[in-house]
Chains A and B, each alone.
Chain A
Amino acid sequence: RLLAAPEATTFPTPSISGKRRETTSPRTPRADPLGAVDKNPARLRPARRIILRTGRMPPALGGGLAGSELRPRRGRCGSQAARAVGRDARPDSAAKSPGRPALTSRRLEAVGRWATLALVTLLAFATRFRRLDQPPHICWDETHFGKMGSYYINRTFFFDVHPPLGKMLIGLAGYLSGYDGTFLFQKPGDKYEHHNYMGMRGLCAFLGSWLIPLAYLTVLDLSKSLPAALLAAALLTFDTGCLTLSQYILLDPILMFFIMAAMLSMVKYHSCSDRPFSAPWWCWLSLTGISLAGALGVKFVGLFIILQVGLNTISDLWQLFGDLSLSLVTIGKHLTARILCLIVLPLLLYVAIFAVHITVLNKSGPGDGFFSSAFQARLSGNSLHNASIPEYLAYGSIITVKNLRMAIGYLHSHRHLYPEGIGARQQQVTTYLHKDYNNLWIIKKHNTNEDPLDPSIPVEFVRHGDIIRLEHKETSRNLHSHHHEAPLTRKHYQVTGYGINGTGDSNDFWRIEVVNRKFGDRIKVLRSRIRLIHVVTGCVLGSSGKVLPRWGWEQLEVTCTPYLKETLNSIWNVEDHINPKLPNISLDVLQPSFPEILLESHMVMIRGNNGLKPKDNEFTSKPWHWPINYQGLRFSGANDTDFRVYLLGNPVVWWLNLVSLALYLLSGSAIAVALQRGAQLPAELEGLTRVLLRGGGQLLLGWMLHYFPFFLMGRVLYFHHYFPAMLFSSMLTGILWDTLLRLCAWGLASSPLAGVVHAAGILSLLLGTAYSFYLFHPLAYGMIGPLAQEPQSPMAGLKWLDSWDF
């Protein structure tokens, strides 16, 4: 043990001393006097309970005393769980190592750590902000997210499949940096000219730069080893993919920032678990919650990190629950704290994000059509805004009927017949997306043809379950269906306009039903979800969403479906409503409440996501392409005269990650089997294996959670979806190589090479990645000149895979 201290002082690299502390740790409890008492825990338990009770008080009084709680708690933990050992080791070994030199070395080490952190951060910022203004035109998805940022500045409503936080931040950054929201963001390649885009790119680069210090700190905390952390940071700094993705107006840097922040805060609060309810503990715990809300608020991919934090929290609580020295009240407190910080707080924040989103966007815009009529009534500029119409449907009312599924439109008919050979040759009935006179229908009783608007007849409301007739206002034909095949969906029945001046036959009768209502209820405009059931055949009026050929003016097909399953295709609502005999009310009454808006936004987002289906005959990126860096994404430019930016991971980094994953699985399972077989590892190895299994396992879990779910997704996938997983995989690589090299060094302990192996290994990995970055940096910073297959290209000889395209 005496050897350890001089070595620590003479060896300026903090890594070595870090290792020594780590490796000696398992011994300390045995040597610790408090630990020695623990050999007879049964006798001591009551006494400990008392310490526990008194020890529990201070944090409740104030965070300042938290430090004082450290000592008695640690003593108690000594026997019960190995989990505390690694973390407890630091103060113990410090106390035991010969006083002064250790202290100075500790101070040196702390300074060294801060210096490295500063260096890492500086390098990250330098690489991310270099040539940020290039190219001065729209790259790739900037056309979407920049546009959405502008929408926030202009306060126009839009629809996107992702939750709003990311775009809100982009909008905010633009606003603060003086961008006025007037740039159109029409298509990739458009020049920004005088518009100020640097604020928005700056925000993304800023958050993207933080990924690296966050990863550095996470690895440092998980492995307690500086070289591992440095390696992870270097892999990310020198990865061209991460760099490219952080330099443009995209959601990914924002998302990854929140994911990494959540990961770091989770790791940090775990390492504070020896002093629960102290100020830093609360701080990290609530930061975890805040970051989770942020991640979910940017993209639904945030769910994966939530899952990871959730799994960790459950296992953490489970351990606490098994700790018999803790009373149930304490465990209850732990549970409540986690529910508060990891469930309630994120949920509140998430809802708050939507509240801001909805209050800011109050003008009608391109997203209106995706939402229900009632929702649209909120937006100024929409025809439904501030409108006033009668509230309940009555006979004689003139109405428009809108399908509830998005992008289907209004029930429509026009003076054109179905062509020869397609069902009966009667008037077409379709759905039409735009407002039009031909969308107007009159609702009539099925058995009389008297004019309900005649002032002598009292107003009669339409009720749930009534049999009605819908007469097309312009052509006076009735909505009709019969046993003929529908034009496109052969299993459904055709719907036509039939009859002359409202006189038809019994196939014109429809039963109107309100979804989830009782018999006899009145039907509310906008709010009631209605189904129209054909009385004779029992089928339901719906729209298949298929586009009719030219004879149908490319409007959408309307059918009567014999399948009574409730799908949105067969649910309608009444939008416009004209009835002079009824008093008009302001639509504000019908406006949905905030929870309803929230629910509807989510339904629409989920449906939008599901709607992003890949086409059969197109090349699509598959999840298995990603880790092998099979193909990149072209951000800007295609020809040799263009300024080209190509999103592709640095192949050296990515393939190293891939190898490391395999190596990790191999070494991890070998160690796990050895432990299960009861192998007695030397103390030094035990520390290393713990880092490998615990810290590495945590990161492996992160990688799996952010990667495997994509195999189950049916939507269109892109290469950049892999980047959150890639962050975890790089961190794992850092830990793995550091540990493996230490194992090597330990194996060679007798030879003088021992110390050199580790340092040389880490150094060569660092230099190797840096050199590969030097080779591949034009991918990210942009390249002009011939394509890579030409010998005079700047990238000549670097097209290692045929599928790369730069």
Chain B
Amino acid sequence: MLGIFKRPVVVTADINLNLVALTGLGLLSRLWRLTYPRAVVFDEVYYGQYISFYMKRIFFLDDSGPPLGHMLLALGGYLGGFDGNFLWNRIGAEYSSNVPVWSLRLLPALAGALSVPMAYQIVSELHFSHCAAMGAALLMLIENALITQSRLMLLESLLIFFNLLAVLSYLKFFNSQRYSPFSLRWWLWLMLTGVACSCSVGIKYMGIFTYLLVLSIAAVHTWHLIGDQTLSNMCVFCHLLARAVGLLVVPAVLYLLFFYTHLKLLHRSGPHDQIMSSAFQASLEGGLARVTQGQPLEVAFGSQVTLKNIFGKPLPCWLHSHQNTYPIIYENGRGSSHQQQVTCYPFKDVNNWWIVKDPGRHQLVVNNPPRPVRHGDIVQLVHGMTTRLLNTHDVAAPLSPHSQEVSCYIDYNISMPAQNLWRLDIVNRESDKDVWKTILSEVRFVHVNTSAVLKLSGAHLPDWGFRQLEVVGEKLSRGHHESMVWNVEEHRYGKSQEQRERELELHSPTQLDISRNLSFMARFLEVQWRMLTLRSEDSEHKYSSTPLEWVTLDTNIVYWLHPRTSAQIHLLGNVVIWVSASLTTVGYALLFIWYLLRRQRSACELPEDAWPNWVLAGALCGGGWALNYLPFFLMDKMLFLYHYLPALTFQILLLPIVLQHISDHLCRSQLQRNLFSALVVAWYSSACHVSSLLRPLTYGDRSLSPGELQALRWKDSWDILIRK
């Protein structure tokens, strides 16, 4: 107890001034005049609307990535007191005064600034010199494309930050492995690796590439660990377990946590509701929930229902019918049954109501007590407004001639009998005795006579069908597809005997009260699935580019143009850095192959202790580049230059490593070494020069004359706007 007083209280601080300076410079370069331009710049228009949705707690679905990135941007808005009231509709629109531009842009800018000292640390953790580490950080500092991307409400700088953090903390973990496994530090870095990995996956799916990189390097290291026979089996097992927890369990749990927060935050219904299932919509405040709240749960004979197609592509829609009949002869000369059209209609309408009828009885009301419909029951579906029965027969459908036409039967007194019996098939049943439930049950209607299934074909009917969607009967044997599955959305127990009364009833809203809640996992799975399967139609954009154009920087993106002057912001990299980074990657690969070949012939050029460092640096940086770049060749979505930035940061890390290697191992004399250093300094100053030349396009703070702009157009493929 008294021991404390015997010695003076000493705090030993170990401050690396390099780091402090780099952080300061990073902050300066990223935060300088952050609120300029006070207008919507490029993709801010896209992310901004999601920020607004968060502020207003309105549910949305964005297929571009998991929600963490959006939430972080929204956090900036929250801290700045943004109320979400801004119309994000046009690039270049001035921000109104209620938009806290500075705090919205702050987080990405901080992430961009901190990437600079992190680059320094990664290179020094790879056991390369301080000079090399400084080099990497300084290159990150002056890279124009990274600056532009971090100064706006965009996700790339956050992604890069977490990528680097994952790599850095893994390296720290790996380095502390040697002397102090299972120490606090060791655990800390291991867990941080997992956290950073899941954050980068949570910001963009692209983060998976870095996660895979860390995982595979960790796997190789673990494999070596297994081979280490000085460790006991128990010890190895503990190592394996710790890694599994840190690198697999923690990221998975965090990933779920992101979605949990996301869904907790967004509890109001909004414009994207339609994409989701009825059950999901019903779990949101307002929207469908307001309608379905209080509906009876079990569908009974006599129930009035609307039926929504589960697949909902090309449009979410409800089973529909109306007075009009199929034309006797189609345009292509085929004939039809001339019976009443049955379609799928993407809007709420009184004609979407159907009544579930027991074939054995004539009434269209629900008994007391209600007799629920079960899996396997035979039902008839009566169209509410026309009281005609849903029917299908061996007549080719209007647009899908291989399927059967579905109609509401009109008795023309010709030899075409009604075939209106359907067997109810609950797809997600738990037992064969399950009851058909509103919203929750996913059902198929199997036609009794022809074993055809009611299906949304996805084709739009021509003008005679009012461009509604075609509904057909397809043979059960053609395979199961979600477009055959329907669910009840609105539901009420029918009470009126008379048709006129019933029409009034159909027009009135549903009542009664049962609340139902979807579990988090169900909601998560649905959101995740929709995100992955949602496909946007757009396949053209003025500034989209191909991966091949990125390496040589043959393309740029105009982010913003001042409404009056010719000040403009571009996503445009520092050509010197891009080209030399690509060259050094090639250089590394060649050198590596050469060393590998020599080693296989038992001739070791490198000292034994330098080789593992050289390999690890290449695997992390070169591998990181390849993993973040090459998969884009397989993607057929729209790609932009900014997709290359994560790969570029890895390339930039590799650059000083290769340079140091050349100076250490390939320069044979002191003279050569000095000469090489001089070259490197000259090269770096040229990079700085280029960076300052491009600065006006990075910050957009200065209006350039047409002549100056023309002079900056170094490549014909660059799109620089010149006012005439």
Contact = CB atoms under 8 A, between A and B. Distances in A.
A617 B457 contact: yes
Given A322-B601, A676-B226, A562 B542 contact: yes
Contact of B480 (A550, A562, A619): A619
Interface string B428-465: 00000000000000000000000000011110000000
B483 A617 contact: yes
Contact of A318 (B314, B456, B477, B600): B600
Contacts of B597: 321
B478 interface: yes
A563 B229 CA distance: 62
B602 interface: yes
A92 interface: no
B634 interface: yes
Interface residues of B, number: 30
Nearest to A787: B477
A616 B458 contact: yes
A221 interface: no
A550 B542 contact: no
B423 to A, nearest CB: 14
Interface string B595-617: 00100111000000000000000
B229 A324 contact: no
A15 interface: no
A472 to B, nearest CB: 28
B564 interface: no
A615 B602 contact: no
Given A321-B601, A324-B602, A712-B634, A619 B478 contact: yes
Contacts of B458: 615-617
Interface in B526-548: 540-542, 544
A616 B480 CA distance: 13
Contacts of A615: 458
Interface in B461-493: 477-481, 483
Residue from B226, B457, B544, B634 with most neighbouring chain A CB atoms (10 Å): B226
Contacts of A550: 331
Contacts of A415: none
Interface string A546-566: 000010000000000111010
A526 B227 CA distance: 66
Contacts of A638: 477
Contacts of B409: none
A748 to B, nearest CB: 26
A760 interface: no
Contact of B479 (A616, A619, A677): A619
B458 to A, nearest CB: 4
Nearest to B457: A617
Given A617-B458, A638-B477, A565 B636 contact: no
A419 to B, nearest CB: 12
A677 B227 contact: yes
Contacts of B36: none
Contacts of B479: 619, 631, 803
A403 B483 CA distance: 36
A617 B634 contact: no
Nearest to B478: A619
A33 interface: no
A535 to B, nearest CB: 15
Contacts of A561: 540
Interface residues on A, range: 20 to 34
A615 B459 CA distance: 11
A805 B313 CA distance: 27
A491 interface: yes
A677 B481 contact: no
A618 interface: yes
Nearest to A675: B227
A212 B301 CA distance: 59
A682 interface: no
B229 A677 contact: yes
B227 A616 contact: no
A678 interface: yes
Contacts of B223: 676
Contacts of A714: 636
B311 interface: yes
A673 interface: yes
Contacts of A619: 478-481
Contacts of B129: none
Contacts of B480: 619, 803
Contacts of A565: 540, 544
B96 interface: no
Interface in A34-57: none
A714 B229 CA distance: 47
A803 to B, nearest CB: 7
A677 B311 CA distance: 51
A298 B501 CA distance: 69
B565 interface: no
A674 B12 CA distance: 47
Interface in A602-654: 615-619, 631, 634, 638
User: Nearest 7 A-B pairs (CB), nearest first?
Assistant: A619-B479, A617-B458, A617-B483, A322-B600, A619-B481, A676-B227, A805-B477
18 contacts: A321-B600, A322-B601, A550-B331, A561-B540, A563-B540, A563-B541, A563-B542, A616-B314, A617-B311, A617-B456, A617-B481, A631-B479, A634-B477, A676-B227, A677-B226, A677-B227, A678-B227, A805-B477
Interface of B: 223, 226-227, 229, 233, 236, 311, 313-314, 331, 455-458, 477-481, 483, 540-542, 544, 597, 600-602, 634, 636
Given A322-B600, A550-B331, A617-B456, 18 more contacts: A491-B540, A562-B542, A563-B540, A563-B541, A565-B540, A616-B314, A616-B483, A617-B311, A617-B313, A617-B455, A617-B458, A617-B481, A617-B483, A619-B480, A619-B481, A634-B477, A677-B227, A803-B480
